[in-house]
Amino acid sequence: MEEMTIERSQDARDPQKSTLKVTGKLTIEQASRFKEVLVAALAQAGDLTLDVTGVTALDLSALQLFCSGHRTAVLQGKRLTVAHTGSGVFDQVKSDAGFQRHIGCDKDDTNSCLWVEERTDG
């Protein structure tokens, strides 16, 4: 089984911005550990980016934790984003789970919902 690793880094130019880089499997087996790290990172950062470009497996439990983390960030006046460019795992699981949206939830007054699809039409 491929282990999940999490590296936390802070932006040298802006100490309020942090990144959690997750690699390996992020599934139900890792959910408890990931939640602990996510909660701690949100408590310490102003803006947090979850870099999941190195994630090789993802499931619904991870998407739910991303959503919960985003909601917590919004309620605290912070920003949580997911960086996933170059990896189809996030997009595929999001699509398979039906998480795409055209508008965010009722708490998303910053229009930063992780699930909102970018519109390409004029």
Q: Please tell me the predicted confidence (pLDDT) of residue 103.
A: 67
Residue type, position 24, single letter: G
CB atoms within 10 A of CB 72: 16
Q: Please tell me the predicted confidence (pLDDT) of residue 121.
A: 43
Q: Between 105 and 121, name the one with better pLDDT.
A: 105
Q: What is the DSSP code string of 27-87?
A: SGGGHHHHHHHHHHHHHH-SEEEEEEEEEEEE-HHHHHHHHHHHHHHHHTT-EEEEE-TT-
Q: In which band, very low, low, confident or very high, does the pLDDT at 120 lie, cut at 50, 70 and 90?
A: very low
Q: Which residues pair with 82 in a beta bridge?
A: 50
Q: Please tell me the predicted confidence (pLDDT) of residue 2.
A: 74
- Work out the average pLDDT over 30-54: 95
Domains, in order of start, for the chain: 18-117 (3.30.750.24)
Both ends of the chain: CA-CA distance in Å?
45
Answer whether residue 5 shows pLDDT above 80: yes
Q: Please tell me the predicted confidence (pLDDT) of residue 118.
A: 57
What is the value of pTM for the model shown? 0.84
Strands 5-10 and 17-26: antiparallel
CB atoms within 10 A of CB 69: 23
How many degrees, rounded to 5, is the angle at CA 42 between CA 40 and CA 45?
A: 105
Share of the chain above pLDDT 90, in %: 56
